[in-house]
Every structure is written in C-alpha cells, then in structure tokens.
C-alpha cells in the first residue's frame, strides 16, 4: 500500500516535473547558475552584518544548509549507489545543476511575496487556485517534516550512535527531548543551534573525507569512470535501458532528498532575513545546492566507490568506507557527523513543519506539533530504514506538486528578475 502511494506521489511524473522546471529556468536564464558564478558566490560569502534582533544571512544559510546538508549526504548517497549503482551519482549531479535554478526561483519568489511564510507566500498567489495549492502544500510540509525531515534523520542518527553501543530507544529519547524545545521555541531558537552545528559538522566530515580520498587516491580515477559508465550503461547485465533509468531515478530522487530543490522548503529558513533583495536571497539557494550536492555528496560518493562493499547498504556502506581507510577513528568520525547532521536537519525541518501547521491553523497547535514531532523522532529510531525512506519520499511529493505548479505559473516573472542582474 505504502509503495503504491509513493509511486503516485513520487514517481517519474513528479521527478520529471522537477527536472523540467530546473531545465526550463536554466535554459531561459542562459544558465545563470554557471554564467554568474562569481556574482552568487560574492553575494553569499560577503553578505554583510545583521541588526540586533534579526536573523542574519549567515544564520539563515546555516539553517537552510542544516535542512539539506544532512544524512542525505551519508545515507542518501549510499542509498542512491545501492539502488542505482555508481551511475546514480551522475544523475544526482544533473539534478543539482538544474536544481540550482529551481531553488533560486523558490527563494527569490518567497522573498518577493511575504504575505505568508516561505514558499506559502508565492504559492498562495499562483492564480485563482493558489490558496487551494497553498493548503495542499502546507499539509505536505507538515507531513514531510515528520517523514524526510525527521524520521529518516533520526533513523540514521540511531544507526550512528549504535556504533558507540547506544540502544536505539535511548537515541530516540535524547532526540525527542531536544526537538521538543525546538518545536516550542521556533526559528530564533533553532538558528542558535544550527549556526554552531553546521560549520563544525561540515568541517569534521569534509576533512575526514579528504583523508579517505588521499589514502585511496589511486582508485579515484576508476571511481569517476564507474560513475560515467554506470550513468549511460546499456549493457544487458545492467538491464539495458532499464538499468540506466534505475540509475537516473535513484540519483534524481536522492538528489532532491539531499538538496531539496523543487520542494520549496529552504525558503522558510530565509523568511526572516532583512535587508536583502529577492535576487540575493535566490543566490543563497544556488550556493546551498552547490555546497550540498556538488561538493559534499560528490566527496561522499567517491569515498564509498573507492572502498565499495556490496554487502552493505545505507549508512553502513559509508561507515565501511571510512573504516577501510581510517580504521576505528574513521568510523567514529563519520558516526559523530551523521548524528550531528541528523540533529541539525531535524532542527531545521521542525521549524518548517511548524510554519506549515501555523498556516493551516492560523497560528494554533504549535505546542501539540512539538510533541508529535518529538514522538516521530522516537519512532524513526526503531522503524526499518527502507520503510522510513518510503514514508519520506511519499510526503515529499505532497510538497513538490503544488510548489512546481506555482513555479511554472511565475516562470515569466522569474526570468524578468534574472535579467536585472548584469
């Protein structure tokens, strides 16, 4: 039953729409994300200071990165390789390049339409059916925050803490207690966590990954070759064209899982940033996808492919890669990073789901949501990984469909804004 619902809400028709949206915005903007790389890098890296009481650009970016640079970079990449082979990584890159413009459009529009929080602002204004789409999106946002933004993350956190001998139910209790406070106090409390966690966990994981790649440097060329070969392989052993399609679906699906382009979720993180133009907010989204998928996911994928073990899947596949190169220290490093990634992602998504519920209930029910979110975190620690992923993918579709329809509605307006950048 769950598999059937997932195929309806997260099948090729939805993944195709996500790709078409990114391709359309990329082509119409003459690949703004590539042509203007110096512009958006400068915009993000030299963003200026915040006023007292405001959420800064850095804090918002760290929250958005917390929502995307998460276990998708560890579990998601491993899952993509397990299902679609090395070639899935190529399609992950493709979805990221196009996704840069999709997320640019989402963030730019949300900064322009402030009548509601995050993506709800522009979805609500998308024609005569905008309010119905916004209600549909808000329901999806709440459910997706419990699925992909919570249960998938807590499952990975429990798996990583399990390497230190921590029982799953203990991990669930710790995570649930932490998230209860986030659910009650909201975004301004959350950014205090993410602005410290994200730089730390990213630095630890990136340095550890580079050490793995240095030790396994002789295998890097063959790892890249396997990615390209697997992406376009039509050999009978790979199932012919079906094999290539499986690789493509796995890469695109897990690519969206990690960078969130097409879901409109990151726009909630930038909602309270003041003094920035819609274009500048859009550029922060481009950087988010670049850092998350092009850099972090690629590094993870190369580590796995250089130390590949076909008998493992999920986080265990990544753990094996780091253990092969760095021994016990490598396992401990990636386990700590996984737990921190998961926590940061759940913190961000707790705020996104809270915003969706607030839209549906006119601001009521926040305390109740905090309790439900905490309970979902506990449940995610004890439910099998494959079931958790199916739940996450299904709920993602509820967000993607209304969001993409709104983006297509505003396509000419998006292009007009892009043309203002010289």
**Domain of residue 158, CATH code:** 1.20.1740.10
Main-chain phi, psi angles of 55, to 5 degrees: -85, 125
What digits encode the pLDDT tens for the residues 351-407? 888 889 989 988 787 778 888 888 888 988 888 767 777 777 778 888 889 999 999
Main-chain phi, psi angles of 273, to 5 degrees: -75, 130
Q: Per the domain annotation, does 162 fall within a domain?
A: yes
Q: Per the domain annotation, does 392 fall within a domain?
A: yes
Q: Per the domain annotation, does 37 fall within a domain?
A: no
Q: How many structural domains is the chain composed of?
A: 1
Q: State which residues of the chain have pLDDT below 70.
A: 1-3, 7, 47-72, 182-197, 233-259, 275, 308-315, 385, 422
pLDDT reported for residue 53? 47
8 A C-beta contact, residue 15 and residue 253? yes
Measure the CA–CA gap between 323 and 309, rounded to whole angstroms.
11
Secondary structure string (H, E, C) spanning the chain: CHHHHHHHHCCHHHHHHHHHHHHHHHHHCCCHHHHCHHHHHHHHHCCCCCCCCCECHHHHHHHHHHHHCCHHHCHHHHHHHHHHCCHHHHHHHHHHHHHHHHHHHHHHHHHHCCCCCCCHHHHHCCCCCHHHHHHHHHHHHHHHHHHHHHHHHHHHHHHHHHCCCCCHHHHHHHHHHHHHHHHHHCHHHHHHHHHHHHHHHHHHHHHHHHHHHHHCHHHHHHHHHHHHHHHHCCCHHHCCHHHHHHHHHHHHHHHHHHHCCCCCHHHHCCCCECCCCHHHHHHHHHHHHHHHHHHHHHHHHHHHHHCCCCCCCCHHHHHHHHHHHHCHHHHHHHHHHHHHHHHHHHHHHHHHHHHHHHHHHCCCCHHHHHHHHHHHHHHHHHCCHHHHHHHHHHHHHHHHHHHHHHHHHCHHHHHHHHCCCC
Q: Per the domain annotation, does 92 fall within a domain?
A: yes
Q: Per the domain annotation, does 32 fall within a domain?
A: no
Furthest C-alpha separation in the chain: 62
What digits encode the pLDDT tens for the residues 248-300? 566 666 556 556 778 888 888 777 777 678 888 888 889 888 888 888 888 88
Q: Per the domain annotation, does 43 fall within a domain?
A: no
User: Whole domain around residue 244: which residue ranges?
Assistant: 2-22+58-258+276-417
Joined together, the tokens standing for residue 158 give 């429990």
Q: Measured between alpha carbons, how far is residue 43 from residues 48, 195, 422 in Å?
A: 9, 19, 14
pLDDT reported for residue 402? 92
> Quick one: which of 315, 403, 393 has its CA closest to 147?
393
pLDDT reported for residue 114? 84
pLDDT reported for residue 263? 85
Joined together, the tokens standing for residue 328 give 């016990």
Q: Per the domain annotation, does 39 fall within a domain?
A: no
Q: Per the domain annotation, does 40 fall within a domain?
A: no
């Amino acid at each position: 039953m769950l598999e059937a619902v997932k195929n309806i809400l997260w099948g090729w028709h939805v993944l195709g729409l996500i790709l078409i949206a990114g391709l359309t915005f990329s082509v119409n903007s003459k690949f703004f994300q590539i042509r203007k790389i110096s512009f958006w890098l400068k915009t993000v890296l030299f963003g200026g200071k915040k006023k007292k009481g405001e959420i800064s650009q850095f804090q918002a970016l760290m929250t958005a990165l917390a929502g995307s640079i998460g276990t998708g970079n560890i579990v998601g990449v491993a899952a993509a390789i397990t299902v679609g082979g090395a070639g899935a990584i190529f399609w992950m890159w493709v979805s990221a390049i196009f996704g840069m413009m999709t997320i640019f459009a989402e963030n730019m529009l949300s900064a322009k339409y402030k009548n509601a929080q995050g993506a709800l602002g522009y979805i609500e204004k998308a024609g005569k059916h905008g309010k119905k789409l916004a209600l549909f999106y808000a329901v999806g946002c709440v459910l997706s925050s419990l699925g992909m933004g919570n249960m998938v993350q807590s499952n990975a956190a429990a798996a990583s803490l399990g390497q230190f001998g921590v029982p799953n139910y203990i991990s669930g209790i710790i995570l649930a207690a932490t998230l209860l406070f986030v659910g009650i106090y909201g975004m301004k409390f959350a950014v205090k966590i993410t602005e410290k966690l994200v730089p730390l966990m990213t630095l630890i994981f990136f340095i550890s990954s580079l050490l793995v790649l240095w030790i396994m440097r002789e295998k890097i060329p063959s790892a890249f070759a396997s990615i390209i070969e697997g992406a376009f392989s039509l050999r009978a052993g790979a199932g012919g064209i079906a094999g290539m399609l499986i690789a493509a679906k796995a890469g695109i699906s897990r690519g969206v899982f990690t960078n969130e382009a097409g879901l409109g979720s990151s726009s909630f993180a930038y909602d309270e940033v003041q003094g920035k133009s819609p274009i500048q907010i859009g550029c922060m989204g481009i950087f988010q996808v670049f850092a998350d998928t092009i850099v972090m996911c690629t590094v993870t994928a190369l580590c796995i492919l250089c130390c590949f073990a076909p008998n493992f899947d999920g986080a265990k596949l990544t753990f094996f890669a780091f253990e092969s190169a760095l021994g016990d220290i490598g396992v401990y490093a990636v386990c700590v990073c996984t737990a921190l990634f998961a926590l940061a992602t759940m913190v961000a998504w707790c705020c996104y789901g809270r915003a969706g519920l607030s839209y549906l209930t006119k601001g009521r029910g926040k305390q109740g949501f905090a309790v439900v979110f905490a309970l979902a975190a506990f449940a995610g620690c004890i439910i099998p990984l494959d079931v958790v992923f199916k739940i996450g993918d299904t709920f993602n579709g509820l967000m993607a469909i209304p969001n993409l329809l709104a983006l297509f509605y505003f396509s000419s307006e998006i292009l007009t804004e892009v043309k203002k950048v010289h």
